[in-house]
């Protein structure tokens, strides 16, 4: 009797959240999935079910195939890889018994707490061709007399947004990795050194294998953050020089109408990779989220 009452109480507390998630999250996603394989009219209403014409029309778009998809894939792969590589070393450094390490951790995390719009404005000023400090240093050091227009040329703009994307992703990523490292007793690392392992071997053979769930969890968060990037990509690079999938999708809605068939197909393509990755590594995600809770 008591178990049944507890179950009813739990269901009563969960019901508002379940209704909110169903109406705000699950229903729009399922409606998008359904509409992507239907004939869609000019108002966005799905019609006949069971067609791949929307995806065929999307694949026929030269801009989508040659610009949006490659930029999205390269942006995600480079940002996630670069962020993970640098964040591991930052987390290892913050895990050392350094004087003032609490202050260092707060300083490292501070950029992540700043609004992305403000961050984009700061880096836009830093990379300004005539007034930015980056080109000012290049001139002062005699590296170049003609400072590059970082955000004006497509290739330089893409490289710049990737570099800044990695930089702004490091604080949160390194903090999550640090939580996993702190869950590992110091005795294991010291025992590996006593047994003859070098610092590199102790890192690759002891620390990283033990905190693998935390590394996988961090990589998932980094992937989701990079794949779903919208605000930073929209505000940092002017014009259409950098358009990942999330920025390109609203572009199907114009002033005088919307290409609902392309929008629904692109929305499905933007959602599937995140869902698939979550299902593949869900076990590691749960273990990684609990890393650091008990030491």
243-261 pLDDT, tens per residue? 788 888 888 877 667 888 8
In a domain, 58, yes or no: no
pLDDT of residue 288: 54
What value does the mean pLDDT take over residues 32-39?
84
Dihedral angle computed from the Cα positions of residues 155, 160, 165 and 168, in that order, rounded to the nearest 10 degrees: 180
In a domain, 49, yes or no: no
Q: Which of 284, 104, 75, 92 is nearest to 174 (CA)?
A: 92
Q: Is the pLDDT of residue 294 over 60?
A: no
In a domain, 25, yes or no: no
Q: Is the pTM of this model over 0.75?
A: yes
Cβ atoms 220, 281 nearer than 8 A: yes
Q: How confident is the model at residue 83 (pLDDT cuts 50, 70, 90)?
A: very high
What value does the mean pLDDT take over residues 63-80?
89
How many domains is the chain partitioned into structurally? 1
In a domain, 52, yes or no: no
CA-CA distances (angstroms) from residue 142 to 125, 128, 137, 150? 21, 18, 8, 18
Domain CATH for 85: 1.10.3720.10
Q: How confident is the model at residue 286 (pLDDT cuts 50, 70, 90)?
A: low
In a domain, 36, yes or no: no
In a domain, 57, yes or no: no
What tens digit of pLDDT does each residue of 108-164 get?
A: 777 777 777 788 888 888 888 888 888 888 888 888 777 788 877 777 888 888 888
In a domain, 111, yes or no: yes
pLDDT of residue 200: 76
* Cα 32 from Cα 249, distance rounded (Å): 13
CA-CA distances (angstroms) from residue 102 to 53, 55, 165, 234, 250? 56, 51, 25, 34, 42
* Cα 102 from Cα 104, distance rounded (Å): 5
The lowest-confidence range among 19-23, 54-58, 153-157, 283-287 is 283-287
Q: Is the pLDDT of residue 295 over 50?
A: no
In a domain, 160, yes or no: yes
What tens digit of pLDDT does each residue of 9-23 get?
A: 788 888 888 888 888
The two three-digit tokens of residue 16, written as one number: 């508002």
pLDDT of residue 285: 62
Task: Give residue 95's domain range.
Answer: 74-290
Q: Is the pLDDT of residue 219 over 60?
A: yes
């Amino acid at each position: 009797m008591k178990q049944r009452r507890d179950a009813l109480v739990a269901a009563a507390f969960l019901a508002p959240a379940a209704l909110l998630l169903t109406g705000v999250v699950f229903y729009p996603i399922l409606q998008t999935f359904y509409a992507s394989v239907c004939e869609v009219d000019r108002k966005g209403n799905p019609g006949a079910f069971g067609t791949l014409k929307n995806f065929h029309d999307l694949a026929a778009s030269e801009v989508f195939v040659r610009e949006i998809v490659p930029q999205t894939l390269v942006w995600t792969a480079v940002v996630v890889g670069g962020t993970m590589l640098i964040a591991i070393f930052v987390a290892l450094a913050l895990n050392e018994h350094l004087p003032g390490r609490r202050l260092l951790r707060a300083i490292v995390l501070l950029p992540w707490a700043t609004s992305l719009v403000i961050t984009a404005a700061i880096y836009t000023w830093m990379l300004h061709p005539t007034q930015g400090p980056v080109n000012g240093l290049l001139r002062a050091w005699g590296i170049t007399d003609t400072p590059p227009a970082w955000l004006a040329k497509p290739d330089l703009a893409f490289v710049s947004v990737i570099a800044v994307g990695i930089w702004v992703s490091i604080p949160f990523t390194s903090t999550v990795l640090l939580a996993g490292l702190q869950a590992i007793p110091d005795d294991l690392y010291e025992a590996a050194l006593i047994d003859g392992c070098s610092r590199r071997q102790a890192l690759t053979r002891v620390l990283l294998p033990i905190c693998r769930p935390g590394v996988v969890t961090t990589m998932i968060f980094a992937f989701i953050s990079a794949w779903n990037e919208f605000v930073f990509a929209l505000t940092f690079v002017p014009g259409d020089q950098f358009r990942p999938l999330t920025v390109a999708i609203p572009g199907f809605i114009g002033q005088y109408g919307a290409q609902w068939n392309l929008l629904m197909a692109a929305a499905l393509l933007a959602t599937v990779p995140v869902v698939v990755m979550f299902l593949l590594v869900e076990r590691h995600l749960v273990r990684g989220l609990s890393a650091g809770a008990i030491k």
